[in-house]
A and B are shown apart, each in its own frame.
Chain A
Amino acid sequence: MNEDNLYIEQFLNGEEKGFEMLVRKYQDRALNIVYSLIGRDRESEDITQEAFLKVYRSLRSFRQRCRFSTWFYRIVVNMTYDFLRRRQNFLSNEGVLKRSVASSASPRDALFRKEKEQMIQEALERVPLKFRVALVLKDIEGLSYIEIARVLRCSIGTVESKIYRARQFLKAELLKSGGGAI
């Protein structure tokens, strides 16, 4: 039995600890997927929380026909889609998120890094969503093509093509914004 199934079993036996272990294990993964797709800190945090609430409410009906992670990533991606459909331009950029920037970086380095980071994120956000999702699951979360195909419910060939096209779009966008990053 893998770790996730063990936590699920604990939760189904009435131990909330099982659910909390799943939250601790997947919170940053979910957060980074959502952030890479929408580029907003606070909203990424809220979507991540909502995804876990959905897990909490539906874990009892999870039939384990696929791995927990596949099911969970599907929830995260679908919630992000829902958010993007509803999105308006009132969003704030605050939040309690910590960023994993090296603390030893000088202010000038930090500024340069921040600008570069922003440029990459903005370019990524201009990649059409259907291609961006596959790329994020691959390069941010490190899923294999077969896992991505399961999450997105499509063929491996489609995943391959989406990732390839996402990279082409991203390259074009980065070149448009000066090409310094490439």
Chain B
Amino acid sequence: MKECIKVKRLLSRYLDKETGDADSALVEAHIDICPLCKKELSELSRIKELILGKERRTLPEDYLVCRLREKIASEQYTEKRLSLVGIGSLSRRLIPVPVATIILLITFLFLISTGQQVSESSLEDNILSGAPVTTEAALGLILGVQD
């Protein structure tokens, strides 16, 4: 029984011809006297045969080479075009920086101008409606200075 456990661990390896001489001899001697381990070896061997006999896929000889050529050529063409217009790989990585800066700047200017209009109009509304307005604010409106 103890030997069965040891041999069972070796069976798969034995089947793959990966055991040394001593282990191979041990397996062979054991399966001669142990029907259970012999059966196990025969089943493992059948499993191996099934996988070995599995249908193999083949690609038409130049099919993949042609597909790869096309793919590589198209990648190289894109790369070349980008570098021709001065957009190399480094510059492409750097593009987001100026773009983000410009977007931020435009947003900032827009917000400032909107804020200015809102506060100017609310001050004018206050003056026209007769609501109390501080002298400083009224002077600011006249001189075009904001808080």
Contacts and interface: CB of A to CB of B under 8 A. Distances in A.
Interface of A: 16, 20, 23-24, 27-28, 31-32, 35-36, 41, 44-45, 48-49, 52-53, 56, 96-101, 113, 117, 120-121, 124, 135, 138-140, 144-145, 160, 163-164, 167, 170-171, 174, 181-182
Contacts of B48: 139, 167
A49 B16 contact: no
A97 B57 CA distance: 6
Contacts, number: 103
B64 A23 contact: yes
Interface of B: 9, 11-13, 16, 18, 43-44, 46-48, 50-52, 54-65, 67-69, 71-72
9 contacts: A28-B58, A44-B57, A49-B68, A49-B71, A99-B55, A99-B56, A101-B55, A120-B50, A170-B47
B54 A174 contact: no
Contact of A96 (B47, B50, B60, B69): B60
A163 B16 contact: yes
A167 B47 contact: yes
Contacts of A138: 16
